[in-house]
Chain A
Amino acid sequence: MGMYRIKFDAGTLLLSTHRLIWRDQKNHECCMAIPLSQIVFIEEQAAGIGKRRLFVEQSSTKISFSFQAFEDLSKLMIKAKEMVELSRSIANKIKEKQGDVTEDEERGGIMSLTEVYCLVNRARGMELLSPEDLVNACKMLEALKLPLRLRVFDSGVMVIELQSHKEEEMVASALETVSEKGSLTSEEFAKLVGMSVLLAKERLLLAEKMGHLCRDDSVEGLRFYPNLFMTQS
C-alpha cells in the first residue's frame, strides 16, 4: 500500500464536529471532506504571504491544503488536535469510573452530563473544561469511534452512554420491575434499581413512549403502571 500525496490550493477550510472540509474558492462545487476519525496527523506548514498551509495525514493518504483564512487556522489547529485528545481523555475517565463498580453503585452504562462534568473536572484539578467544552468534546465521541456516545432525551436531558448500552433493552427490564411492584414513581424505581432519579425518570418516560407503561399524574406525584392495553390485547 503506497502513500498518496495530494495538493489542494486556494480554498476555504471548515471544521465540523465530524469532518474537515475543504472547498475550492472559485469552484464551489469542488470540495472534499475528511472524517476526523481518520486523521492520523495534522500540522501547519510554511506558505506564501496571505496564505496558510495545512498538512493532514489520513490513513494511507497525505493531503496538503492551502487556504486564505488567517483566524480560522489557530482555532482549527486547537480544535482538531485538542478536541480529539480531549474526547479520548474523557472517554478514558468515564471508563475508569465504570471500572470501579461497587455493590450499591452500579451505573448501568449511563451517566448524566452533569455527573461527567464533575467527574472529569475533579480529576483534572486544573485547566478545567467549561460546560461548552465538555458538550463539544462529547459530540465527537461517536465520530471518533470511541465506545461511548452522547444522547439527548426529549426532555433536553443529556447523557453519555456506552455504545454497548441499549436503553431500549433496559426498558424491558424496567417494565418487569414495575409489573412486579404493581406501580412505581421515579423515586421508588431509582431506589430499587440504584440509579439517579433523573435517569430513572428518563427510562420510565422512554418506556411510556414505547407504550410499555402508562402514567397516573396526580398531586401525589407521577406514578407509572404497566400498560395493560398493550399486554392484554
Chain B
Amino acid sequence: MHRRGVGAGAIAKKKLAEAKYKERGTVLAEDQLAQMSKQLDMFKTNLEEFASKHKQEIRKNPEFRVQFQDMCATIGVDPLASGKGFWSEMLGVGDFYYELGVQIIEVCLALKHRNGGLITLEELHQQVLKGRGKFAQDVSQDDLIRAIKKLKALGTGFGIIPVGGTYLIQSVPAELNMDHTVVLQLAEKNGYVTVSEIQASLKWETERARQVLEHLLKEGLAWLDLQAPGEAHYWLPALFTDLYSQEITAEEAREALP
C-alpha cells in the first residue's frame, strides 16, 4: 500500500518546506529588527524631550517629584537605585536625593549628642532647610523620607518610625523593637512618658514597662527626671524641640563629621 507523507520523496519535500520557512523566518526577523530600531529611535527622541521638559520641574517642584516617584513605583522602577541609572542620569533626579542624603547624615550627626540619634521628621526638615540656605531648591518631607530609605543601604542604622501623625528618624543602630516603638508613640503627645501612663494606656505590667524605659535610657534616647511631680518622668529629647533655642549652622553640621 502506498501511504502519503512517507518515503524519500516526502522527506525531501519536507526538508525543502522547512528550509523555506527558515528563510522566511530570517526575513521576518530582519523586518522586525528594522521596525524595532525605528521604534527605539522614536522612543529615544520622546524620552529626551520628556527629560528636557521636566528636568527643571523635577529639581524645583516637590509635588512633581512625588508624582514622578509614584509613577515609577507603579511601573516597578526605582529611579534612585543607582546614580548611573537611566532615570537618574536623564532627569538628574539622583543627584538631588543623594546630596540630600549627605545633608541628612550631617544634621543627624550634629544633633546626636542631644537626642541620642532620634529626631522628628519636622525638626530634621527644619535643620536641613536651614543648612541648604535661602537660594536652594525647596525640599519636602516626602523628599527626606525617600532619601533616608536609600541611606539604609549604608548599614549604619537609619530607620523610620511612625509616631502620631508623623515620623521619628533613627540615625544610630540602636535596637528598637515593637515595645520600644509603641512607648515612643505614647510619649509623642507630651514629650515624656511615665510608668503609670504606660500601664494605663497599654495595660502592661510594671516589669515590662520598666525594661523598655531602661533600654531607652541606656541608648541615650530618653532622659530620667526624678524631680518631676508625682512619679519619674522619662523625657524624649527627640520629641521636645522647644528646649533647644540653639540652632546649628551648615558649618557646624559639616564639622560634626569626624
Chain A residues with CB under 8 Å of chain B are 49-50, 78, 82, 105, 107, 112-115, 117-118, 121-122, 126-135, 152, 155-158, 195-196, 198, 217-222
Say how far A134's CB is from chain B's closest CB, in angstroms.
7
Q: Is the CB of B155 within 8 A of A158?
A: yes
| A interface footprint on B82-105 (CB within 8 Å = 1, 0 otherwise) | 111100100000110011011001
| Cβ 8 A contact of B98, one of A114, A129, A157 | A129
Contacts of B153 in A (CB 8 A): 130-132, 134-135
- Cβ contacts A to B, 7 pairs, < 8 Å: A49-B29, A117-B151, A131-B151, A133-B82, A156-B157, A198-B173, A218-B218
Q: Could you tell me the distance between the alpha carbons of A115 and B151 in the complex, rounded to whole angstroms? A: 12
Contacts of B220 in A (CB 8 A): 221
Given contacts A129-B98, A219-B214, contact A78 B154 (CB under 8 A): no
Say how far A206's CB is from chain B's closest CB, in angstroms.
15
Contacts of A82 in B (CB 8 A): 84
Q: Is the CB of A117 within 8 A of B29?
A: no
Q: Is B11 an interface residue (CB 8 A)?
A: no
Given contacts A50-B29, A117-B102, A131-B154, contact A196 B81 (CB under 8 A): no
Q: Is the CB of B94 within 8 A of A128?
A: yes
Give the most central of B88, B102, B151: most A CB within 10 Å. B102
Given contacts A133-B82, A133-B83, contact A158 B258 (CB under 8 A): no
Q: Is the CB of B155 within 8 A of A130?
A: no
Q: Is B140 an interface residue (CB 8 A)?
A: no
| Cβ 8 A contact of A112, one of B84, B106, B156 | B156
Q: Is the CB of B82 within 8 A of A130?
A: yes
Q: Is the CB of A122 within 8 A of B102?
A: yes
Q: Is the CB of B156 within 8 A of A157?
A: yes
- Count residues of chain B with CB under 8 A from any CB of chain A: 35
Q: Is B150 an interface residue (CB 8 A)?
A: yes
Among residues of B, the one whose C-beta sits closest to the C-beta of A111 is B258
Q: Is B33 an interface residue (CB 8 A)?
A: yes
Q: Is the CB of A132 within 8 A of B95?
A: no
Q: Is the CB of A157 within 8 A of B157?
A: yes
10 further interface pairs, Cβ-Cβ under 8 Å (given A49-B33, A118-B257) = A114-B154, A115-B257, A117-B105, A118-B106, A128-B94, A128-B99, A132-B82, A157-B173, A158-B154, A158-B155
Q: Could you tell me the distance between the alpha carbons of A74 and B208 in the complex, rounded to whole angstroms? A: 56
Given contacts A121-B99, A122-B102, contact A127 B156 (CB under 8 A): no
Q: Is the CB of A158 within 8 A of B156?
A: yes
Q: Is B129 an interface residue (CB 8 A)?
A: no
Given contacts A131-B101, A133-B84, A195-B258, contact A219 B218 (CB under 8 A): yes
